[in-house]
Amino acid sequence: MTANVYDSFTLPSGGVLKNRLVKAAMEENLANAQQLPDQALFNLYDAWAKGGVGLIITGNVMIDHLAMTGPGGVALEKDSNLEPFKKLAQIGKQNGTHIWMQINHPGRQVFKKMGGKVLSPSDIALNMGKHSNLFTQPKAMNEEEIKDVIERFTVTAKRAQEAGFNGVEIHAAHGYLLAQFLSPLTNKREDQWGGSLENRARLLLEVVKSVRANCDREFAVAVKLNSADFQRGGFDVDDALNVVKMLEPFGVDVVELSGGSYEAPAMQGRTADQRTLAREAYFLEFAAKIAEQSSIPIMTTGGIKRLPIAQQVIDSGVALVGLASALAFNPELPNHWQHVPGVVGTIPQVAWKDKTLSGLANMALVKRQLRLLGAGKGVKVDASPVYSLILDQLRSAKLTKRYRKQYQNEVT
Ligand SMILES: Cc1cc2nc3c(=O)[nH]c(=O)nc-3n(C[C@H](O)[C@H](O)[C@H](O)COP(=O)(O)O)c2cc1C
């Protein structure tokens, strides 16, 4: 018999999660001008901690304030004020919940309007069709920049521990920097950081090793990995399995499997290589296959909004169930399911002809709920995608301006 979604789960590093439902990372764009957590984030995380998940993974926190995935993002560096992070950790740990900080570097996925450092293993720009000009041509990283990234991931993880977080999740999925190193489509290097899968995985492994070596043994270290890029010639499910195997000796607590990138948003259920994903729990087939062969507990996120599907994930041998959108629309879903198992969560599925705009509208609908919760208000389940997208674009423009003004001497 397999476990129940509401059974506790003991992590390899020793921590015990009260159940197997996890709030997956969602970038909130709700930081203050100093890129620190503030009241809006405190309100939001209070709602999630009280809503009944076993573990909260924060929205991605940047390891370098000059390399941001978006405006209004949080950054934690060696000289950042730790007090707001301490408060966030304390709020996230209410109700017996654990909280991990997701740590990330965007690599080439930096909007041109934001500016700052646009680094990648090779100088290959994003191909977003007619929307490609939203991004800049990246610079191929030199050895010193690679070492700097390892150091920054380590510093951010150490400071997350100091602030009271129970762990970190290293973001190596969704086309961000570590995923760019993993993918043969974006990594054309001929040195020790490119070529074979061993070489392409080297940066991720070095980051994991360094974080593990510099944090306490009880501090959880997780990795978010693509089960595939879902692009022709990209990182595929065999690569993912091999990388999980490579991670096994390094004391990783969980590998969260997702998929895709800005170019192929599989995490929203859409691929760019004709492969079809399941209608719910998009990556379950891949996650179950990898879980069968991995000694590291596996988690999968994407398309989960019903309790029977969450239970099916566990029944398939996957340890943890990640929920993102559904918890933005209803942070209380884990509590509600215990009383009314038939409650169906909300995952927006805008399907306009322009796939890029559809993806942005889906994100905008979710982010709007995060803002409402951050303001201490109720969510708006039937919000208009067009209006939400316009609001999001206007807000992003304002926050981008704020960022550029704040860092005008550093951002070019
Ligand atoms: C608004 C929004 C922001 C997101 N930000 C992040 C992020 O910071 N880090 C990350 O790994 N995934 C991020 N994701 C992806 C989610 O973690 C998740 O993989 C994806 O939404 C699929 O899960 P769902 O169907 O439960 O929403 C984000 C998703 C949304 C909707």
Give yes or no for a contact between 164 and 221, defined as CB atoms under 8 angstroms apart.
no
Closest residue by CA, ligand 1 atom 2: 26
Q: Is the CB of 26 inside a 6 Å radius of any atom of ligand 1?
A: yes
Q: Is the CB of 72 inside a 6 Å radius of any atom of ligand 1?
A: no
Residue-level pLDDT at 272 = 83
Distance separating alpha carbons of residues 356 and 108, to the nearest angstrom: 17
Distant-in-sequence, close-in-space partners of 13: CB < 8 Å, separation ≥ 6: 167, 217, 218, 219, 220, 221, 251, 253
Rg (CA), the chain: 19
Distance separating alpha carbons of residues 213 and 329, to the nearest angstrom: 38
Distance separating alpha carbons of residues 127 and 133, to the nearest angstrom: 9
Q: Is the CB of 159 inside a 6 Å radius of any atom of ligand 1?
A: no
Q: Is the CB of 60 inside a 6 Å radius of any atom of ligand 1?
A: yes
Q: Is the CB of 302 inside a 6 Å radius of any atom of ligand 1?
A: yes
Question: pLDDT averaged over consecutive 10-residue blocks of the chain (412 residues)?
Answer: 94 98 98 97 98 98 97 98 98 98 98 96 95 95 98 98 98 98 98 98 98 98 96 96 98 97 90 85 96 98 98 98 98 98 96 91 97 95 95 98 94 78
Residue 111 in 3-state DSSP? strand
Distance separating alpha carbons of residues 294 and 262, to the nearest angstrom: 28
Q: Could you tell me the distance, in angstroms and rounded to a whole number, from the CA of residue 26 to the centre of ligand 1?
A: 5
Residue-level pLDDT at 273 = 82
Residue-level pLDDT at 349 = 92
Tell me the backbone φ, ψ of residue 321, rounded to 5 degrees: -115, 120
Nearest to 323 by CA among 282, 361, 294, 278: 282
Give yes or no for a contact between 119 and 177, defined as CB atoms under 8 angstroms apart.
yes
Q: Could you tell me the distance, in angstroms and rounded to a whole number, from the CA of residue 83 to the centre of ligand 1?
A: 26
Q: Could you tell me the distance, in angstroms and rounded to a whole number, from the CA of residue 192 to the centre of ligand 1?
A: 31
Helix (H) or strand (E) holding 310: helix 307-315
Q: Is the CB of 138 inside a 6 Å radius of any atom of ligand 1?
A: no
Give yes or no for a contact between 403 and 71, defined as CB atoms under 8 angstroms apart.
yes
Range 277-283 contact pairs with CB under 8 angstroms and sequence separation of 24 or more: 277/302, 277/303, 278/303, 279/303, 280/304, 280/305, 280/306, 280/309, 281/309, 281/312, 281/313, 283/227, 283/257, 283/258, 283/259
Closest residue by CA, ligand 1 atom 29: 26
| Domains of the chain, CATH where assigned | 9-406 (3.20.20.70)
Best of 223, 268, 301 to mutate for ligand 1, by most ligand atoms within 8 A of CB? Answer: 301
Give yes or no for a contact between 98 and 140, defined as CB atoms under 8 angstroms apart.
no
- Alpha carbon of 50 to those of 60, 98, 340: distances in Å? 21, 12, 17
Closest residue by CA, ligand 1 atom 13: 26
Distant-in-sequence, close-in-space partners of 61: CB < 8 Å, separation ≥ 6: 73, 74, 75, 76, 101, 102, 103, 104, 156, 160
CA end-to-end span of the chain, whole Å? 58
Q: Is the CB of 25 inside a 6 Å radius of any atom of ligand 1?
A: yes
Q: Could you tell me the distance, in angstroms and rounded to a whole number, from the CA of residue 360 to the centre of ligand 1?
A: 12
Angular region, 72: left φ>0, alpha ψ -120 to 50, beta rest: left
Best of 21, 26, 313, 329 to mutate for ligand 1, by most ligand atoms within 8 A of CB? Answer: 26
Q: Is the CB of 74 inside a 6 Å radius of any atom of ligand 1?
A: no
Best of 22, 23, 27, 171 to mutate for ligand 1, by most ligand atoms within 8 A of CB? Answer: 27
DSSP category for residue 178: H
Helix/strand/coil (H/E/C) assignment for every residue in 376-392 = CCCCCCCCCHHHHHHHH
Closest residue by CA, ligand 1 atom 4: 26
Q: Could you tell me the distance, in angstroms and rounded to a whole number, from the CA of residue 227 to the centre of ligand 1?
A: 15
- Written as six digits, the tokens of 20 are 């197997």
- Written as six digits, the tokens of 260 are 């895709």
Q: For residue 188, give the amino acid letter.
A: K
Q: Is the CB of 258 inside a 6 Å radius of any atom of ligand 1?
A: yes
Q: For residue 289, give the amino acid letter.
A: K
Q: For residue 204, give the amino acid letter.
A: L
Distant-in-sequence, close-in-space partners of 405: CB < 8 Å, separation ≥ 6: none
- Written as six digits, the tokens of 206 are 């070095």
Residue-level pLDDT at 140 = 98
Cβ count within 10 A of residue 250: 15
- Written as six digits, the tokens of 197 are 């899968």
Q: Could you tell me the distance, in angstroms and rounded to a whole number, from the CA of residue 366 to the centre of ligand 1?
A: 9
Model confidence, pTM: 0.98
Nearest to 30 by CA among 404, 406, 402, 410: 402
